[in-house]
Structure 1
Amino acid sequence: MAGPWVSARTIDGVKLPSDNPHPLARFLRSFWAPTARSMRGWAMASVVVNAGIAVTGAGVRVTGSGLGCPTWPKCTPDSFVPVAHPEVSMINMAVEFGNRLLTFLVLAVGAACVIAALRLAPRRRSLLTLAWLQPVGILLQALWGGVVVRTLLNPFTVGMHFILSIGLMSVCWLLYVRSGEGDGPVRRVVHRDIRRLGHVLVAAAFTLVVVGVMVSGTGPHSGDELASRFDLDIEAMARLHADVAYLVVGLTFALLFALHVSAAPRAAKRAAAALLAVEFAQGVIGYTQWFLAVPAALVLLHVLGASLVWIFALRAATSLRTRDAAPVPGQHAPAQATAVA
C-alpha cells in the first residue's frame, strides 16, 4: 500500500475507547466509562434540557393549555394519556401532556449525570452530590407540577415552578464548572472586591427573575380561564421589573469595566461581555413585548432570555474563581492557592 502506515492511538498496545467509530458505543461510554470531558458534556446537556423545559412550560401557559390535563398524575380522571374529554380541547391536552413527557427526557439526562459521576475514576464526592441533586430536584418539580394543576394554576404555584427550574439550572451549571476543576480550596483569580461584585450581580439577577415571575403572574397568559392572577398593578410591576433590569445591567457593566482595568483572566472578561450582550437582547424582547401587548411568541423568547440571563450570570460569577487539584495529604498548598471566602 502506498503512503505511510499510521497505527491507532494505543496505550501499551490497547486501543483507546475514544477510537471506537460507532456513535452508539461512544454515547454509552460517555457515561458508563466517563472522562472529565464527557462528564462536563452531560452537565451542559442537563443545563440545556432544564432551560428547555422551562420554555416549553411557558408554551403550555401561553397556549391556554395549563389545564389541558385537568388532573394529576393522570391526564384525565380515567387515563394517564390524553383521551377525548367533553370539557377540554384535544390540542390543549396534547400540549400539556407533551410537556409532561419532556420531564422524562430531563430525568434521563439527570440520571446519566449520576451514572457518569458514580463511574468516574477517581470518584469525586463533590460531583456525585451535584449529580444526585438533579434527579431529586426533577422529581420534586414533577410533584410540584401536580400542586400547580390541583391549585388551578395559582400564580404563586406557577411562579414557584419556574423558580425551582432556576434552582435546577444552577445545580447543573455548578456541576459543569466543578467537572472542569480540581477539588482543592477555592482560589480567586481577580481582586477580592471584584469577586464580591460578582456575588452582588448574581443576587440582583435572582431578584430580577423573582420580580419577572410576579409580572408574569399579574399579566395575561394565565394558562386557563379558571386561573387566578396576582392582585397587583401590571404597569407598576412592569416598571419595577425594568428598574431591577437596569440595576443588573449597571452591575454587569461595572463588572466588565473592573475586569478590563485589572489583570483579570480573559475568560472572566468574555463571560461578563457575553452576559451584557444577553441582557441587551433580553431588554429588546421585553420592551417589544410591552409595546405589542405581550404576544405569545415573545413570551416564549422572554422566558428563554430569562433562563439565559441567569445561566450567564452564574457563568460570570464562577469565572472569577477556580479550584486547583486537591493537595496531597502531608503537603502544604502553595501560598498563591490559599483558600478564600
Structure 2
Amino acid sequence: MATAAPAPPRAPSVTTPGSEWLPRILMLNLAVEVLIVVTGGLVRLTGSGLGCPTWPQCVPGSYTPVPHQAEGYHRFIEFGNRTLTSVVGVVALLAVYAVWRWSGPTRTRWYAVWERGGSRRELMVPALVVLGGVVVQAVLGGITVLTGLSPITVSLHFLVSMVLVASAAYLVARRPTPTGPRPLVVHPLVERLAWLTCAVGAVVLVLGTVVTGSGPHSGDANEPARFGFDPRTVSWLHADTVMLFVGLVLAVWLAARLTGTETTSARAWLAVLGVTALQGVVGYTQYFTGLPWGVVLAHMLLATLLVVALTRAVVALRATEATAPQH
C-alpha cells in the first residue's frame, strides 16, 4: 500500500532586525489619520473653519495665531488642526520607510523600491497613497480656506480623508497576512456582494457630507456656506441609503458565516454590522435632538471607524494565514 510522501520541512522564517516596529508604525499611521478627521470635524462643528483666515499663513505675516486676533478661540482650533497635518505627514513618511525597510528580506540597493521578498507591493502602494494624500489634503485645505469654506471643497476634504483612512487601515490589516495573491475563504459571490456593500457605503459617506453641508454646521460661525438643499430631504435620503447598506452588511455577514472556511471573515463582518448599528443610533439621536455638535462629532468618528471596519472585513474575505503547498 503506497503511503504519501512526507511534506518537506518548512524553511525557517527570517526577520529583519527592527521589523517589530513595522506594526506599531502602521497602527500609529492609522491612528493619526483617524485623529485628524476628528479634529477636522471639530473645526467645522465649532465654526472655526476660518479661525486662520489665510493660507498657508494663519494671518497675514504670521504662520501662527497672534494675540487679539479677531477670530478669538476659533484660531486655536483651526491652527491645531493645521499643526496636526504636519504630524500626519511625518508619520506617513515614516510608514513608507518602515514598509520599505522592514516588510521583507534585507535590501542591498536603496533604490530598489520593489525588491523585497516578493516586493510586498500590496503594502508599499497604499503607504505611498497615504503619503501623497497628505500633500493633496494640505493643498485642498488651503483651497477650502481661500474659497471661504465652499461646501464642495469641504466635502471633498472629508472624502479624501476617508480614502486615506481606508489605505492606512488596509496596511494594518494586510501586513500580517501572506504576501502575494491569496485564495478566497468564502464563496466568490460573497466577495462581489461585499464590494457592492462598499460601493453603497461610499454613497452613504457622500450623502452624509451633503447632509452636513446643508445643515447648521457649515464650518464658519459668522459666514456659513451651505449647499442650499433642504436638510430634511437629504437627511431622509441619507437614512434610506443607510437602510440599504445595513441590509447588505447583514447579507454579507450571513453568507460569510455559511460559506466561509475561516471564522475570521464572519467575525470581521459582524464587527461592521456592530459599528453600523451604533452609527445608526447616533445618527437618529443627532437628528431628533437638533444636531448638537458633540453628537455630530461622534457620528463623524463612527463613520471613520466604519471605514476601518469595512477595510478589515474586505481583507478578511481572503486567506489570512499561509496555506500548506499542495503536492
Distance 1:295 1:272 in 2: 30
Instruction: Pick from 99, 108, 112 the counterpart of residue 117 of structure 1.
Output: 99
Instruction: Pick from 294, 299, 322 the counterpart of residue 297 of structure 1.
Output: 294
Query: What runs of 5+ residues in structure 1 fail to find an aligned partner?
Result: 1-16, 18-31, 328-332, 336-341
Identify the residue that residue 279 of structure 2 maps to in structure 1. Answer: 282
1:241 maps to amino acid:
H
Distance 1:287 1:46 in 2: 31
Identify the residue that residue 43 of structure 2 maps to in structure 1. Answer: 60
Identify the residue that residue 147 of structure 1 maps to in structure 2. Answer: 143
Number of aligned positions between the proteins: 298
Identify the residue that residue 310 of structure 1 maps to in structure 2. Answer: 307
Identify the residue that residue 190 of structure 1 maps to in structure 2. Answer: 186
* Alignment map for 1:1-341 (pairs within 5 Å): 33-35=17-19, 37-84=20-67, 87-89=70-72, 91-120=73-102, 121-122=104-105, 123=116, 124-126=119-121, 127-224=123-220, 225-322=222-319, 334=326
Say if 1:271 and 1:316, in contact at 8 Å, map to a contact too: yes
Distance 1:223 1:109 in 2: 27
Distance 2:136 2:301 in 1: 22
SS at match of 1:186: coil
Distance 1:34 1:187 in 2: 30
Q: 1:40 to 1:180 in 2, by over 3 A?
A: same
Q: 1:87 to 1:249 in 2, by over 3 A?
A: same
Say if 1:184 and 1:325, in contact at 8 Å, map to a contact too: no
Say if 2:219 and 2:225, in contact at 8 Å, map to a contact too: no
Distance 1:230 1:85 in 2: 32
Say if 1:187 and 1:323, in contact at 8 Å, map to a contact too: no
Query: What runs of 5+ residues in structure 2 fail to find an aligned partner?
Result: 1-14, 106-115
Distance 1:270 1:214 in 2: 32
Say if 1:147 and 1:157, in contact at 8 Å, map to a contact too: yes
Q: Percent identity?
A: 39
CA RMSD, aligned part only? Answer: 2.2
Identify the residue that residue 10 of structure 1 maps to in structure 2. Answer: none
2:43 maps to amino acid:
V
1:169 maps to amino acid:
V
Q: 1:227 to 1:267 in 2, by over 3 A?
A: same
CA displacement 1:56-89 (0-9 Å, x = unmatched): 1010111111100000000001100100355321
Say if 1:154 and 1:228, in contact at 8 Å, map to a contact too: yes
Identify the residue that residue 3 of structure 2 maps to in structure 1. Answer: none
CA displacement 1:190-223 (0-9 Å, x = unmatched): 1101111111111111111011011111111112
2:34 maps to amino acid:
A
TM-score w.r.t. structure 1 length?
0.82
1:70 maps to amino acid:
P
User: Shift in Å at residue 43 of structure 1?
Assistant: 1.8
Q: 1:79 to 1:280 in 2, by over 3 A?
A: same
Distance 2:323 2:260 in 1: 25
Say if 2:38 and 2:301, in contact at 8 Å, map to a contact too: yes
User: Shift in Å at residue 313 of structure 1?
Assistant: 1.4
User: Shift in Å at residue 178 of structure 1?
Assistant: 2.9
Between 259-268 and 49-58, the greater mean CA deviation after superposition: 259-268
2:227 maps to amino acid:
F
CA displacement 1:233-253 (0-9 Å, x = unmatched): 111100011011111111111
Q: 1:323 to 1:285 in 2, by over 3 A?
A: closer
Runs of 4+ with >6 A deviation: 323-327
Say if 2:260 and 2:266, in contact at 8 Å, map to a contact too: no
